[in-house]
Structure 1
Amino acid sequence: MEGKQCHVFRRITLLMLIVLNFSCFSPDHKSDADAGLQDTALVNRLNLRAYAHWSSFPDSTMILGRRALALSDSIRYRTGKIDAFRNLGIGAYEKGMYSEAIAYYNQAISVATEEDDHSRKAKILSNLAMPYIALGVHTEALKQLNLAIELADRYHLPLIKAHAIHNMGMVYHYQHKDDKAILYYRESLRLYESLGDSSRSTFILGNIGHLYLHKNDLQHAKELYDQSLNLAEKNKNYKAIGNALQSLGSLYMEKKDWDHALSYYLKAKATLESTGEQTEYLRLLDNLATCYLRMDHVDAAIHYSELCYELAKQNKQLYYIQSAANRLGTMLERKQELSRAIFFYKEYKSASDSLYSADNKEQLVRNEEEFKFKKQQNELESLYRAKVLRRNYILLVATVLIVSLLVIAVLLVKNVKDKRKANEALRNTNEFIEEQHALLEESDNFKKSLLALVTHDVRAPINNLNRILMLIRDGLVPPEEIKKLLSSNSEEFDSTINLIENLLLWVNQHLHASDLVIREFDVMDIFRQIHGIYIKRLEEKKIKLLMECDEGLKALADAEVVMIILRNLVDNAIKFCKPDNQITLRAAVNDQNNRITFSVIDTGVGMSRRVQENLSTVTEPVSHRGTKNEKGYGIGLQLCRYYLGLSHSELLIESREGQGSIFRFELDRPIDGRHIQDIRSLRVPGQM
């Protein structure tokens, strides 16, 4: 890869020297990217990736969420902290850790409230209702949803309102208020589709279908499930396809049409296995086990229950551990495998206790289930003790095996410790791989942007020049027309020269490490050079350039870098000024920090807030056209930011549409007026 990059660099340089005879590029200067922007961008990427995994790999959601939270804390990035807490809440909810989910969501709401981030607060309030619904605390769930809807209405957040209304339907769904739940689901569906968002429609249609299935309206339920499946297939949403196929399987299971039920379940199984989707796959295994059990195919039911149990344990999905363990306990008890049955009943109880913590038990109606469980456990333990009495002779062997068991126990402890170390090493390796993947993605985006510029905006004008030269060489252009032809294309050639210079600087900053040579220089000398470079363009566009600077004002920086920065800013100002507009180059001492403030002020067309935000956040070249349709490539602005970062400064932008723009940055002054030479910054490695 590095060899190819160097080859591209050499080819561009050769073209420049041969065709344009242009050699004013200096490759000695490179600056570091703004560390703060890199850190917040990394937090945002971690949060986006965490959210992308919530329904398939909630463990990954929580790992990435914790990394994002730690980094947000270290750089005091409050928005990243809100999103990280929300992702941790989503991951905990998916894993059945409802109390933890509530705690994470409340922390996110607290930070969002402090930041007056009404959009995120409303969204998280809607999320917070879900663990309350799962715990059966419906009053609290409705309270959070009403708050979410109130914020959504007040601040015009229709998508969040649609989400909250859907969750209202969930509350009434779990309360078996079918008609009321259907009303809320349909209103949510209407809102989403009115906003052009059909991605959730397949799941909402499925939920409505479940309610009609509960009302024993099988025909209506099937129509809704078919609509859900068709929409999922149209959108190629394989998780939704698996969900809809399972719903149809459940419908036929209610009709005791076992062949059709198993057919849909097995189609769902194949679909979900192809995607790697795990949470929905757990639901599928649970449904298959239930179906085989209702068919009285106990061995098949045990097989799928064990698969469900193992996968749920692996992913720490408490709900499915509870469901599979309870089913296995019941079936193994029927098969008189009492020891295993007791094991699974204990697993069921452990998972149930984790799902419904002591703080929530008084709010959940579980006394009857616990009584039934204890009764079953006591009966099984009595049977088991009777079996043990018949095998008392085995205890004689126990005394001989004690020493062996102690040795095995020591080995097991050592093995557990070794596994923990190996798992920790694996986690560290995975985190490193993820970070490297993110850097590779950034590098790939840069190369794509660079290639697009080279292939489109550099090749075309060079080919145009080549055609003109060929016409002149072949004598096809009369001598009196040559000057006109070159003059008419001079603006495009100037633009291409400027692009190649900036492009080579841009390539160099990503391929090489470089130093700044810090020296004292006269500011007005730099201003005069800038004026001399652009005097012709200023006259052509009838723009006035003013220079405001005290004679003798000295700055301490790399003079060539300052020339590059000011040249790009003035070039940009000329591009976006109209005839009779004015550009001011200004330098003055800032009394507050004793640094020199450089300003490039124009009275041109200005920028909207949206364009300014794009300039502040986008890290790739972005093209804009000037007032005379001049080409702009966005590389110059990236170079300015880069070199200012290495000079311990930053570019500040103020602009209003139709009223012009101001670009400012600050540089150091000489220390105590002394002449400073050969002060070099730290070497900064290349980005690629």
Structure 2
Amino acid sequence: MAMLKSILFNFLLLFSSPFYLYSQGKVIQNDFFSQEIKLKAKEYKDDIDFYKAQYYFTKKNWDSTLVYSVRQLESNRNSAVTDYCYYFRGFSFKEKKLFKEAVKDFNKISGKFKFYCKVQINLGEIALEQNKFKDALFYFHAVEKPGNYNCNFKKSNAFHNIGLCYLHLGQFDKAETYLFKASELQEIEKDTLLLVGSYMDIANLYYNQFKDSQAIPYFEKAYKLAAKVKSFELKQNATLNMAIVEENRKNLQKALVYRKEYESWRDSLRDQNKVWAVADLEKKFAVKQKQKEIDVLEAENKLKNAERNMFLIVSVLLLLLFGAGIYFYREKSRSNKIILIQKNELNELNHTKDKLFSIVSHDLRSSVSALKRSNSKLLENLENRNFSELDVLLAKNTAITNAAYNLLDNLLNWAILQTAQSYFYIESLHLHSIVEQVQYNYKALLLDKEISFENKVSEEVYILADLDSLKIIIRNLLDNAIKFTPSKGRISLYTDCDIEEDFCHIIIEDSGIGMSPSLQKEILEESFLLSKKHSDDTTGTGLGMQLCKNLISKNNGKLKIKSVENQGTKFIIILPKSKKNG
């Protein structure tokens, strides 16, 4: 029990501290200080570097803030803005998690700085982030003193951080005092997000002292309140706390319910973090593009100032008006064409989607129905001790299950590809090793159908492709070859890298049932999707083939088919060679 409580204690401290540091940082960006630096920028508008530094600081572009603030400091043009520039640099480094550099610049700020209390807040937050709790207390207590009117900080945040420091230091009485002060203010302010964290820290305070009867009500308060907030992280932490509490109470049924809910919130948080990461990359790209536009405009303005005269201004205005008219006319025409094309594509996608859902639901239902019937027979034969029939039924169940699993796996990969969530990294790949890996997963199925498989790929062959997508392509085509090849047939996989200079042909050949020319043509069509039942164990939706075509295209390759009915099939994947070839 003591070990569980120790784990809970460290877990809560780990998740509580960063949340409140982040919350205070948001307050700093939107208070009186923001208005003050804008006024300073207007007052010293001739100091271009300072003006740009404050502009990018307010826009939270930390890299540009660092560049222009250091330019201003190196120029030594105006000592009145020196402290502001050091503050810009310290805060930017802090946001970039470069704490050593942040502390160095914050310590260069004069004690006479109008907003010196903000410097102390930031130093306290950095010390708390680095687990230097005594240093953090020194700064937070300094801010707590009366007379710090320019800070415009939340007292509840300061009290909570002080309580958190004392909690880490094991001074529980002081921690209790400050955590309760913080929670009381947050209840008045109706700050639900911060209040959830406060309740969890108060519960942790008691729980760490083995005061379970006092701790558990606060865990329950935090859990109930977390249901009202949008933060997946808070929901996850509050639910985990309740799971641990119920485990310690030996109420394993409730603990299991909380554990399942915790895993659900954890998965949601991971998905949210992925979305945020993509959004952050898009934002950075947009900022860079905007900066390029700004630089171009500045260059154009300088050119206009050098060449400005009355006649040129009138001429330029006329040309601009004429050009703008043509531009907007062309843009409108192009936009209308794009909208029409997108509408047609959307209609086609919707049609494909509806057909896909119909096919997949039908095939899954058929597989499940077949599995139910087979299981019923399995139970009957088990009761009658007909063991010879059991082997046949178990093999059939395995085939049905594998078919349903492959269908679901292809559906997932197809959905990821359609929603542009897949990540591609083209690299040089050793083809022979990859084929060996994929083949290993099908050994049991090959043995069951007594199909011989040969990996004839030379160990010297390297191709340029994305590893995950290449495995999916080979797996689907090999699965199809096994599915449509009768027992005691043969399958071979080999390459021909001499046909084209820059591409390698990867051939999967089987001795299966083959296909007609019309079916080959249909498969290679862009919107190919069908559902045909060739036998009791072979069902095809065309989804796997559609997925293969999309992935091959995304890997800068092509797909070809050579087949004769009842004589076998060759699927030819054409992908770029790597420089390691030959």
Q: Same fold (TM over 0.5)?
A: no
TM score, norm. by length of structure 2: 0.39
Greater RCO between the two (CA within 8 Å, min separation 6)?
A: 1
TM score, norm. by length of structure 1: 0.33
